[in-house]
Structure 1
């Protein structure tokens, strides 16, 4: 019996059939599937989150998973207490999703922050 053939010609960069999404795939999706305004929104929110995580990382340790979880929780508190930042993050999450914001943020804590951002998005809908 031969293997079934899957036509991926209409799939967005083949992600639909991939178990692991690579950074290059997300970047290509962001560049190809979002308007310049949406890309700007994503970039601004990612920059805001990055800045916040960098600030917190200077004050709090990020050595262990528990440390990173504490920093992620502090970041969420700050996001929720600042309406401008919260609005910007929500807009970016709606425009590109959590994966896009995560990909644009270069900080190890963002992996722990991701489910928290997803819950923020879920609450905002």
Structure 2
């Protein structure tokens, strides 16, 4: 079963980030790289990535055959998707165990949601 493990950026997580030293920030990033590498070695990682600045996001809608593009959905949001891990594991408990290893889980909720693949 595939699960999307979503890492969010919130006011609380950004406030926590501001308290970290440069060394701690570097270690935090390295912990994400190490987790991805470990999941890849174990064969459960489908994909993972950090997402770019929400200010660079765009929202696309199509109405009456016309495409409209506007600034991303996060323009005024206090919370946004910062990154993800897409894993393929036997079940929910395994996905929850992976989510518990995401460095952000120490100070912010990490969301686990099933992915339905046709």
Superposition TM-score, scaled by structure 2 size:
0.34
Superposition TM-score, scaled by structure 1 size:
0.32
- Return the structure number with greater relative CO, CA threshold 8 A, min gap 6: 2
